[in-house]
Amino acid sequence: MIIDFHAHVLPPRIKKDRGRYVEKDAAFGQIYSGEKVKIATAEDLISNMDRDGVDISVIVNYSWSTHELCVETNDYILESVARYPKRLIGLCAVSSYADDASLKEIERCASGGAKGVGELRPDTQKLDYTRKNVIKPFTDLLRKHKLITLTHASEPVGHFYPGKGEATPDVLYKFIANFTGLPVVCAHWGGGLPFYTLMPEVRDALKDVYYDTAVSPFLYRPEIYLQVSRLVGAERILYGSDFPVVAQGRIIKEINEAGLPDDAKDKILAGNARRLLGL
C-alpha cells in the first residue's frame, strides 16, 4: 500500500476561472496567478493515483484568507471524499484559529468526515503563540475530535519560491508547543526543523511531530531521507507529494532510490500514515 499524505484538489470552477480567485485571495494568488501552475480536481488526482500506484491520498486544503473561501473549498473536499471513500481522506481549512466561525467550521467538517485541519499557515496569523490561551479553543477542538494538524513549513535560507512564506522553524516551534499530545504534520520536511532535534529540549518538545516529503526534489538533495531518518526515525516521516505541483510517482521513485532499508521505506510510504490515520 502507498499513501500520499499531502495532495491538493480544487473545485472545477476554480480550475476553470482561477483569475477570479486570484483576485479574491492574495495568498492563493501568490502561487496560482501564473497559468502554468497546475490546478487539479479530485478526478485528476484519482487518475494520477491510478497511474502512479497510489492507493490513498490525503487531500489538504489551502490557508485561504477568508472564511467564505474556506467553506467553499472544504465543501468540495468533503464531497470528494464522499465520492471516493476508499481512495481519499480529507483535511479542512480555517482562516483563523480563534474566531467562532472558524471553530464551528472545524466542528462541521469533523462531522462530515474530515480527519484533520490543514494546510495551516501559522506565519500569516500574527498571533503570539507563546500565550497558551490564544489558540486553546482551537486545540481543544482537535482533542475532542481526535484531529490531525498539517502545517506549512518553510526554510529560513535558500531560494525563494511562490508561497514559501515565513513558517520557519522558530515560528513552528512556538506554534507546535501549543499541541502537546496532539499529532502535528509539518510539510516540506518542517523547513529544516528536524535538524534542531539534536537539541535535547527540542527533541522532547517535538515528540508528536511528523514530517512530510512534499516537493522534496525542489528543496533538498535525496540524502535528506537518510539524514532525517537518523535524526528523528523513519517512523516520523510521511510520504507526501504536494500533487499537482509534483507528480506522485516522482517522490515515490526518490524514496525507493534513497538507500533506505526496506522497513523504513514501508513506514514512509504507508505504515506511518496508516498508524496516524487509524487505518
Torsion sign over Cα 112, 113, 119, 122 = positive
Total of domains in the chain: 1
Domain that holds residue 126: 3-277
- The residue among 211, 214, 179, 182 whose CA lies nearest residue 194 is 211
Torsion sign over Cα 137, 139, 141, 143 = negative
Query: Residue 150: what pLDDT?
Result: 97
Question: What's the pTM value of the predicted model, to 2 decimals?
Answer: 0.95
Joined together, the cell numbers standing for residue 143 give: 482533542
Per-residue pLDDT of the chain (279 residues; tens, 9 = 90+): 999 999 999 999 999 998 889 988 888 888 888 778 899 999 999 999 999 999 999 999 998 989 999 999 999 999 999 999 999 999 999 999 989 999 999 999 999 999 999 999 998 887 888 888 889 999 999 999 999 999 999 999 988 877 788 889 999 999 999 999 999 999 999 999 999 999 999 999 999 999 999 999 999 999 999 999 999 999 999 999 999 999 999 999 999 999 999 999 999 999 999 999 999
CB 257 within 8 A of CB 243: no
In single-letter form, the type of residue at position 151 comes to T
Query: Residue 163: what pLDDT?
Result: 78
Query: Residue 254: what pLDDT?
Result: 97
Query: Residue 236: what pLDDT?
Result: 98
- The residue among 202, 208, 169 whose CA lies nearest residue 188 is 169
How far is 204 from 206, CA to CA, in rounded Å? 6
How far is 1 from 24, CA to CA, in rounded Å? 39
Give 198: exposed, middle or buried? Use CB within 10 Å, 0-12, 13-18, 19+. Answer: exposed
User: Which CATH number belongs to the domain containing residue 266 in this structure?
Assistant: 3.20.20.140
Query: Residue 128: what pLDDT?
Result: 84
How far is 63 from 79, CA to CA, in rounded Å? 19
Query: Residue 230: what pLDDT?
Result: 97
Helix (H, G, I), strand (E, B) or coil at 237: strand
Query: Residue 41: what pLDDT?
Result: 98
